[in-house]
Amino acid sequence: MLKRMVFIVAFACFAYNANSASFDCTKASSPYEKAVCSNPTLSSLDEQLAGAYKDARAKSADPDSLKKEQIEWIKSTRQCASDVGCIEKAYKTRIASLGPTASTPSTAKQASPQEQYQAMVNRSINELGPSGYAKCAAATVTMIALKTRGDNLGRLAPQVEPMSKFMGAVRAGLISRGTPANTLDNLIRASDKVIMSDPDPVLRGMKDFDKCYNDAVR
Residue of 201, 21, 106 lying closest to 8 (CA atoms): 21
Quick one: pLDDT at residue 77? 87
pLDDT, one tens digit per residue, over 131-181 is 999 999 999 999 998 888 888 888 889 998 999 999 999 999 899 889 999
Q: Which residues contact 100 (CB under 8 A, 6 or more apart)?
A: none
Q: In this predicted structure, what is the pLDDT of residue 126?
A: 87
How high is the pLDDT of residue 57?
87
At 26-64, the pLDDT tens digits run 666 788 887 887 777 887 888 888 888 888 888 888 888
Span 90-137, pLDDT tens digits: 889 988 988 764 444 444 456 677 777 888 888 888 888 999 999 999
Taking residue 14's Cβ as centre, other Cβ atoms within 10 Å add up to: 16
Considering only residues 115 and 3, tell me which one the structure prediction assigns the higher pLDDT. Answer: 115
pTM recorded for the entire structure: 0.51
Domain boundaries, the chain: 5-103, 113-217
Mean pLDDT of 59-85: 88
Convert the pLDDT of each residue in 182-218 to its tens digit.
Answer: 999 999 999 999 999 999 999 999 999 999 988 876 5
Q: What is the pLDDT of residue 217?
A: 66
Residue 17 has what pLDDT? 33
Question: Long-range contacts made by residues 94-101, C-beta under 8 angstroms, separation at least 24?
Answer: 94/49, 94/52, 95/45, 95/48, 95/49, 95/52, 98/49, 98/52, 98/53, 98/55, 98/56, 99/52, 99/55, 99/56, 99/59, 101/51, 101/52, 101/55
From the centroid of its chain, how far is CA 136? 23
Higher per-residue pLDDT: 24 or 95: 95
25-to-14, 29, 37, 83, 117 alpha-carbon distances in Å: 19, 9, 6, 18, 31
| pLDDT score for 185 | 93
